[in-house]
Amino acid sequence: MQNVDAINSGIPAIPKDNYLTNGFSLKSWLLTKDHKRIAIMYLITISMFFMAGGLYASAIRLELLTPETDLLTSATYNKVFTQHGILMIFFFLIPSIPAVLGNFLLPIMIGAKDLALPRINLLSLYIYWIGGALTVFALLQGGVDTGWTFYTPYSTTFSNSYVMAVGLGIFINGFSSILTGLNFIVTVHTMRAPGMTWFRLPLFVWAQYATSLVMILGTPVIAITVLLLAIERTVGVGIFDPAIGGDPILFQHLFWFYSHPAVYIMILPGMGVISELISNFSRKKIFGYEFIAFSSIAIAVFGFLVWGHHMFVSGQSIYAGMVFSFLTMVVAVPSAIKMFNWTATLYKGSISYDTPMLYAIGFMGLFLIGGLTGLFLGAIGLTVHLTDTYFVVAHFHYVMVGGQVIAYLGGIHYWWPKMTGRMYSEFWGKISAMLVFIGFNLTFFPQFIVGYQGMPRRYASYPAEFQVLNIFSTAGASVLGVGLVMPVIYLGASLINGKPAGDNPWMLPGLEWRTSSPPPTENFEKTPVVTWEAYEFGEESGLDLDGARRRDQVSTVV
Amino acid sequence: MSDKHMETGEGHIGYPGYIGVFTILVVGTIFTYFSSFWDLDSIFPGANTLLALAIAFTKMTFVMLFFMHVYWSPRLIWLSAVASFFWLAIMFAYTMQDYFTRGLGVFSV
Question: Number of folded domains in chain B?
Answer: 2
- Mean local confidence (pLDDT), B4-13: 56
Q: Is the pLDDT of residue B107 over 60?
A: no
Nearest in space to A494 (alpha carbons), one of A353, A355, A401, A352:
A355
Q: State whether B98 and B69 are in the same domain.
A: no
CA A390, chain centre distance (Å): 22
Most A CBs within 10 A among B60, B92, B94, B102, hence the mutation to make, goes to: B94
- CB under 8 Å, gap of 24 or more: what pairs does B42-50 form? none
Q: Is the pLDDT of residue A10 over 50?
A: no
In a domain, B63, yes or no: yes
Domain boundaries, chain A: 4-557
Residues of chain B found within 8 Å of residue A305, distances taken between Cβ atoms: 90, 94
Cβ pair A288, A344 in contact under 8 A: yes
pLDDT (0 to 100) of residue A544: 67
Architecture in CATH of A4-557: Up-down Bundle (1.20)
Nearest in space to A428 (alpha carbons), one of A360, A352, A488:
A488
Mean per-residue pLDDT over chain A, rounded: 92
Angle at A33 between CA A32 and CA A36, to 5 degrees: 90
Q: State whether B12 and B62 are in the same domain.
A: yes
In a domain, B109, yes or no: no
Q: Is B73 exposed, middle or buried (0-12, 13-18, 19+ CB in 10 A)?
A: middle
Decide: helix, strand or coil at residue A256: helix
Of B90, B91, B98, the CB nearest to A317: B98
Cβ pair A180, A121 in contact under 8 A: yes
- CB under 8 Å, gap of 24 or more: what pairs does A248-253 form? A248/A151, A248/A152, A248/A153, A249/A311, A249/A314, A249/A315, A249/A316, A249/B98, A250/B95, A251/A150, A251/A151, A251/A152, A251/A225, A252/A151, A252/A310, A252/A311, A252/A314, A252/A316, A253/A307, A253/A308, A253/A311, A253/B95, A253/B98
Cβ contact, residue pair B90, A305, below 8 Å: yes
Q: What is the pLDDT of residues A317-346, one digit of tens each?
A: 999 999 999 999 999 999 999 999 999 999
Q: Which residues, 6 or more positions from A435, have their beta carbon under 8 angstroms from its beta carbon?
A: A479, A480, A482, A483, A486
- Closest Cα in chain A, distance from residue B16 (Å): 32
* Parent domain of B18: 1-73
Q: What is the 3-state secondary structure (H, E, C) of A468-535?
A: HHHHHHHHHHHHHHHHHHHHHHHHHHHHHHCCECCCCCCCCCCHHHHCCCCCCCCCCCCCCCCCCCCC
Q: State whether B4 and B14 are in the same domain.
A: yes
Residues of chain A found within 8 Å of residue B90, distances taken between Cβ atoms: 304-305
Q: State whether B79 and B93 are in the same domain.
A: yes
Cβ contact, residue pair B84, A257, below 8 Å: no
In a domain, B61, yes or no: yes
Of B84, B98, B106, the CB nearest to A253: B98
Highest mean pLDDT among A386-395, A504-513, B11-20: A386-395
* Interface contact A449, partner B, CB < 8 A: no
DSSP output for A36-97 = HHHHHHHHHHHHHHHHHHHHHHHHHHHHTTSSSS-SS-HHHHHHHHHHHHHHHIIIIITTII
Q: State whether B59 and B81 are in the same domain.
A: no
Residue A545 — pLDDT band, cuts 50, 70, 90?
A: low
Q: State whether B1 and B32 are in the same domain.
A: yes
Task: State yes or no: cis peptide before A518, omega within 30 of 0.
Answer: yes
pLDDT (0 to 100) of residue A1: 36
- Number of C-alpha atoms within 13 angstroms, CB side, residue A61? 25
Residue A7 — pLDDT band, cuts 50, 70, 90?
A: very low
Cβ contact, residue pair B98, A257, below 8 Å: no
Largest CA-CA distance found in chain B, in angstroms, rounded: 65
Q: State whether B1 and B49 are in the same domain.
A: yes
Q: State whether B58 and B83 are in the same domain.
A: no
Residues of chain A found within 8 Å of residue B106, distances taken between Cβ atoms: 318
Nearest in space to A498 (alpha carbons), one of A414, A433, A417, A411:
A417
DSSP state of A276: H
Q: State whether B28 and B58 are in the same domain.
A: yes
- Mean local confidence (pLDDT), B61-75: 92
pLDDT (0 to 100) of residue B104: 77
End-to-end CA distance of chain B: 58
Q: State whether B34 and B18 are in the same domain.
A: yes
Neighbours of A30 (CB within 10 A): 12
Q: What is the pLDDT of residues A282-304, one digit of tens each?
A: 999 999 999 999 999 999 999 99
pLDDT (0 to 100) of residue A5: 46
Cβ pair A16, A520 in contact under 8 A: yes
Q: State whether B62 and B93 are in the same domain.
A: no
Decide: helix, strand or coil at residue A456: strand
DSSP E strands: which ranges in A283-325? none
Q: How high is the ipTM of this complex? A: 0.81
Cβ pair A144, A159 in contact under 8 A: yes
pLDDT (0 to 100) of residue A538: 78
- Closest Cα in chain B, distance from residue A335 (Å): 21
Of A318, A323, A324, the CB nearest to B107: A318
Q: State whether B41 and B65 are in the same domain.
A: yes
Of B87, B90, B101, the CB nearest to A320: B101
